[in-house]
Structure 1
Amino acid sequence: MTDILALAAENLISPIILSFALGMFAALARSDLSIPEAVAKGMSIYLLFAIGFKGGAGVAAHGIDGKLLGALLAGLVLSFLIPFVAFALLRVLTRMETVDAAAVAAHYGSISIVTFVTATSVLQGRGIDAEGYMVAVAAIMEAPAILSALWLVARTGRSAGMDGDLWREILLNGSIVLLVGSFLIGLATGEDGLARIESFIVSPFQGVLCLFLLDMGLVAGRGLRSARGALGLGAVGFGLLMPPIGAAFGLIAALILGLSTGGAALLMTLAASASYIAVPAAMRVALPEANPSIYLTLSLGVTFPFNITVGIPLYVTVATMTVGG
């Protein structure tokens, strides 16, 4: 417990977390601080490209083997199964309609790439290495949860269309295309390619992440302010309880796979995070009757801040104590 509190305190005073806190404070205080949408979009493109490229270069150095394939399979299974756990917990804690509960569950089966990026930065700051292919696991965990949510709705007799627009949204979502594409570029060019652009995607990374999390704090704070009254205590409790539950499933999978301490911490983080980019876009197409103020506020306004400030230190500490390192 002391280790968890120490790492949490260390994480809370890092530039990354303080930048997020500044953004949330500014939004809740109704400051006119803002980051232009085009700038925020540019930063997200940079972060996705950098993490994907570095992951691909890491796999090129590591080589494709059974452990990588096992990790990809584990990511698929986790993303598909976690929504069912989330849906059941929502049924216990809230009185959400089936469609809203299924939409929320989809968010928690998918992943937050920014939470993943933050976790990689925390690990790097502590000198803990992780398997480079974890970024591929992150990419593969984006979509299966959407299918689980549609099944949960369809079994009640409601329509949950799997038309061409939805498949396009799932398979060609910009964040997925960029993440997978940059991963493949890194895989093809390897460590030599990484050395050529290291000054662009390694050195500025932490600074860009700080500014991006400042913007995320602004978005999260505004979401909490505008969605006041949309969430009950049960829903908020779900947003805080579900991340550790998902992380526990991630830890079990990491132990089965024999991942390193860093790999285990990242898989726990992925399983604990909630999407606020890819899944909301898919839900607008597949379940338009679901309430965005519920699923977006839970994923971005409750779970994201929890994971950034408390969750990641917890997952890193548990991974260190369980796996070693």
Structure 2
Amino acid sequence: MNLDLLIENITNPALLFFLLGIIAVYLKSDLEIPSNTSKFISLYLLFAIGFKGGQELAHSHFTMDIVWCVVFGILISIAIPIYTFFILKYNFSIENAGAIAAAYGSVSAVTFVTAVSFLEMQSITFSGHMVAVMALMEAPAIIVGVIMIQLFDKNKTTTSKLGPIIKHSFTNGSVLLIIGSLLIGFLASDKGALGIKPFTTDIFKGFLAIFLLDMGIVSGKKLGDFFKSGWFSIAFAILIPLLNGCFIAYASQLVTQDVGNRFVFAILAASASYIAVPAAMKIAVPKANPGIFLPMALAITFPFNITFGMPIYYSIIVGS
């Protein structure tokens, strides 16, 4: 891995604000971002990414590459929860194994947003259809996680019907917003899009920095309790995303040669959901403990990916 690339990533202002949030927690500071403000910023980031992706998609020609990218993304979100479930079920209950597997098969929209900032630092673009690929990778992993629990739950305590779970996966606020913004960006005229460019582009990095500050505070609060859960959870939360990201960084050349698209695939495969999956599992598998899979995804995997993971995946892509 290029050491200069790692240093450049770590000194990114947005990432430094994330570290400031963690430091604030350990200093017992009263620094915090109001919950309503944090929610607004997260909605703004998803809106901006979706809209810009729709604009890029409107100016690109539909090809089989787009179809293969969508298929590849869905296959990733199906394969990861299946293989990770069989690793997890020997160390956790069936319910928790399925929930963790679903989280790591699904994707993190916030990690995706941070990855976009990383690509901008490298002056690399990615195709608009990758925003749609990200949105479509949310639901399959959740469905597979629930199915695995139902198949291996000897006591049959999970009887949730898949219909409501599928509906919830696609009507989840973050998924609905990014798909809706993608469609609006696709349909909007160039003149109309130019009118809101200051909002969708110019202030994006500033809002991202504030949002990562909030993520740092949230992560810092969860780290203490999580470290008490044992070495396996920590090792899994680092090694599995690293394995997934490195493998997909290399294998993605089978469906696209675009460096930006391949990087997005890698970071999506390496990310873990801590928004959509906890909400879905609360409905489908109430016995699953969010105190396990939520800190794994947010307090360990997310920081690892945005500090060390992204430079590693990028190095693999440009070297292959």
TM over 0.5: yes
Alignment partners' CA distance in 1, 2:134 and 2:256: 18
2:200 counterpart of 1:204:
no
Q: What is the CA RMSD across the aligned residues, in angstroms?
A: 1.5
Residue in structure 2 matching 1:13, options 11, 14, 26: 11
Say whether the 8 Å CA contact 1:56–1:190 is kept in structure 2. no
Please list, as runs of the form range in 1=range in 2, the aligned pairs for 1:78-227 lying within 5 A after superposition.
78-91=76-89, 95-156=91-152, 157=154, 158=156, 159-162=158-161, 165-189=164-188, 191-227=190-226
Residue identity opposite 2:26 in structure 1: L
Q: Which runs of 4+ in 1 moved over 3 A?
A: 190-193
2:255 counterpart of 1:257:
yes
Alignment partners' CA distance in 1, 2:182 and 2:166: 22
Please list, as runs of the form range in 1=range in 2, the aligned pairs for 1:34-113 lying within 5 A after superposition.
34-91=32-89, 95-113=91-109
Residue in structure 1 matching 2:292, options 273, 291, 294: 294
Superimposed CA distance per residue, residues 212-237 of structure 1 (whole angstroms, 9 cap, x where no aligned partner): 000001111111134452x2101100
Alignment partners' CA distance in 1, 2:168 and 2:74: 18
Say whether the 8 Å CA contact 2:246–2:312 is kept in structure 1. no
For residues 38 and 265 of structure 1, do their structure 2 counterparts lie closer, same or farther at Cα, with a shift above 3 Å needed? same
Alignment-derived partner of residue 275 in structure 2? 277
Alignment partners' CA distance in 1, 2:125 and 2:227: 41
Say whether the 8 Å CA contact 1:61–1:190 is kept in structure 2. no
Alignment-derived partner of residue 236 in structure 1? 234
> Structure 1 residue 79: deviation in Å?
0.4
> Structure 1 residue 250: deviation in Å?
2.3
Alignment-derived partner of residue 265 in structure 2? 267
Alignment partners' CA distance in 2, 1:190 and 1:67: 25
Superimposed CA distance per residue, residues 142-199 of structure 1 (whole angstroms, 9 cap, x where no aligned partner): 1100111111111124324126543332121000110000000011115444322111
Alignment partners' CA distance in 2, 1:273 and 1:194: 30
Say whether the 8 Å CA contact 2:24–2:217 is kept in structure 1. yes
Alignment partners' CA distance in 2, 1:69 and 1:163: 26
Alignment partners' CA distance in 1, 2:32 and 2:275: 19
Q: Which moved more, 1:281-290 or 1:127-136?
A: 127-136
Say whether the 8 Å CA contact 2:143–2:166 is kept in structure 1. no
Alignment partners' CA distance in 2, 1:296 and 1:190: 40
Say whether the 8 Å CA contact 2:246–2:313 is kept in structure 1. no
TM-score using structure 2 length: 0.95
Alignment partners' CA distance in 1, 2:166 and 2:112: 25
Partner secondary structure for residue 202 of structure 1? helix
Which stretches in structure 1 are left out of the alignment for 5+ residues?
none
Residue identity opposite 2:121 in structure 1: G
Partner secondary structure for residue 143 of structure 1? helix
Say whether the 8 Å CA contact 2:143–2:162 is kept in structure 1. no
Q: Aligned pair count?
A: 317
TM-score using structure 1 length: 0.93
For residues 148 and 164 of structure 1, do their structure 2 counterparts lie closer, same or farther at Cα, with a shift above 3 Å needed? closer
Residue identity opposite 1:275 in structure 2: S
Which stretches in structure 2 are left out of the alignment for 5+ residues?
none
Say whether the 8 Å CA contact 1:58–1:190 is kept in structure 2. no
Superimposed CA distance per residue, residues 58-102 of structure 1 (whole angstroms, 9 cap, x where no aligned partner): 1111122211111111111110111112223334xx621111111
Say whether the 8 Å CA contact 1:83–1:148 is kept in structure 2. yes
Say whether the 8 Å CA contact 1:55–1:183 is kept in structure 2. yes
Say whether the 8 Å CA contact 2:139–2:166 is kept in structure 1. no
Alignment partners' CA distance in 2, 1:193 and 1:66: 29
Superimposed CA distance per residue, residues 98-132 of structure 1 (whole angstroms, 9 cap, x where no aligned partner): 11111001000000111111111111111112112
> Structure 1 residue 32: deviation in Å?
1.3
Partner secondary structure for residue 46 of structure 2? helix
Alignment partners' CA distance in 1, 2:98 and 2:249: 24
Alignment partners' CA distance in 2, 1:192 and 1:106: 41
